[in-house]
Amino acid sequence: MKFLDLAKVYLRSGSGGNGSVSFRREKFVEFGGPDGGDGGKGGDVIAEAVEGLNTLIDFRYQQHFFAQNGKGGQGSQRTGAGGDDIILRVPVGTEIIDEDEETVIADLTEPGQKIVLAQGGNGGWGNMRFASSTNRAPARANPGQPGVERTVWLRLKLIADAGLLGMPNAGKSTFLAATSNARPKIADYPFTTLVPNLGVVGIDGAEFVVADIPGLIEGASEGRGLGDQFLGHVERSRVLLHLIDGTSEDVAADCETIINELEQYGGDLADKPRITVLNKIDALDDEEREERRASLEEVAEGPVMLMSGATREGVTEVLRALRAIIEEARAAEKTEAEEVKPWRP
């Protein structure tokens, strides 16, 4: 299945049905009068987050979504049938953005969340609604309200506990393949990873989700390389795992490049907890390992772990460090949710 994380869709809700003008005229019925029913309500356009989806590819082939119109009212006080709603099923983590590409209408981060994007028009009143003591036989009815037309953008931001960052060929895909059930493409050339990958990682009986995005280069925030279009997929993560190629000529410069791109991207991405790892240490001797670790610690402003995704040396320690931060963040989120939970007697 192809990966698509941005789609433009055109929506139109259903128009309400017209009210009816009708009079009751029956033999042996002493009192007649108006009995025109109301029109039915038009259908809504609704977006719903569902499990089991991780791409917006369906919206490449269908971009127009029109809800059904309501039916007109009829005599004998019969209300017209309401129009059927139309539901856009989107992956969990989808942002719905207005046509200006800036205003966020909704952020669907949990399965089952719904939002009405275009409300159907109300049905018009039938003539029996206009009967009064001074107007016993009204010959008027209201038309139904028209539906709403709008254009919105769907932008998917994958939900993962940990996000992988690094230059091209830093070993992110190798790490993901070695520690999870994901099978990303692995090769010895830059930009092997072209789309984000998700993998479920298990360590000491606990599981968490890791997202691997294409490698970043200097100037990515300005659109160079694959640009920063995929950084949104690690925005929601609780911790960032920054992998640095230990065989690079200047590991400190590589580290600075990624940190700078995080800061240029904006938001709180640069402030997220981050674990810095010197990868591919199987290609380094002990002296080179310590020399490059010391160089990195000055730039990363914190401890640097050593790992080889290919030989799995140091992988367990890195996974345990990730798990500790993730579990701490989950506990804090749970406590915060309980504090804002309304009290009920």
Single out the residue of 156, 168, 175, 158 nearest to residue 261, CA to CA: 168
Single out the residue of 312, 325, 306, 338 nearest to residue 206, CA to CA: 325
308 is in an annotated binding site: yes
245 is in an annotated binding site: no
State the DSSP code for 74: B
244 is in an annotated binding site: no
192 is in an annotated binding site: yes
82 is in an annotated binding site: no
181 is in an annotated binding site: no
128 is in an annotated binding site: no
98 is in an annotated binding site: no
Other beta carbons less than 10 A from residue 46's beta carbon: 20
58 is in an annotated binding site: no
321 is in an annotated binding site: no
Tokens 């790490």 correspond to 175
45 is in an annotated binding site: no
166 is in an annotated binding site: yes
Between strands 86-91 and 162-165, the pairing is: unpaired
Task: Please give the Cα distance from 258 to 256 (Å, whole number).
Answer: 6
Q: E strands, the chain, where?
A: 6-12, 23-24, 33-34, 45-50, 64-66, 86-91, 94-98, 104-108, 114-118, 149-156, 162-165, 197-203, 206-212, 239-245, 274-279, 304-306
Phi-psi region of 76 (alpha: psi -120 to 50; beta: other; left: phi over 0): left
191 is in an annotated binding site: yes
Mapped onto helix, strand or coil, the DSSP state of residue 5 is coil
Specify the DSSP element, H or E, that contains 125: none
27 is in an annotated binding site: no
213 is in an annotated binding site: yes
172 is in an annotated binding site: yes
341 is in an annotated binding site: no
69 is in an annotated binding site: no
Other beta carbons less than 10 A from residue 143's beta carbon: 16
Looking at residue 302, its amino acid is: G
248 is in an annotated binding site: no
Task: Please give the Cα distance from 285 to 310 (Å, whole number).
Answer: 16
138 is in an annotated binding site: no
Task: Please give the Cα distance from 39 to 19 (Å, whole number).
Answer: 5
Q: Which residues are annotated as part of the binding site for Mg(2+)?
A: 173, 193
Q: Which residues are annotated as part of the binding site for GTP?
A: 166-173, 191-195, 212-215, 279-282, 308-310
Q: Which residues are annotated as part of the binding site?
A: 166-173, 191-195, 212-215, 279-282, 308-310
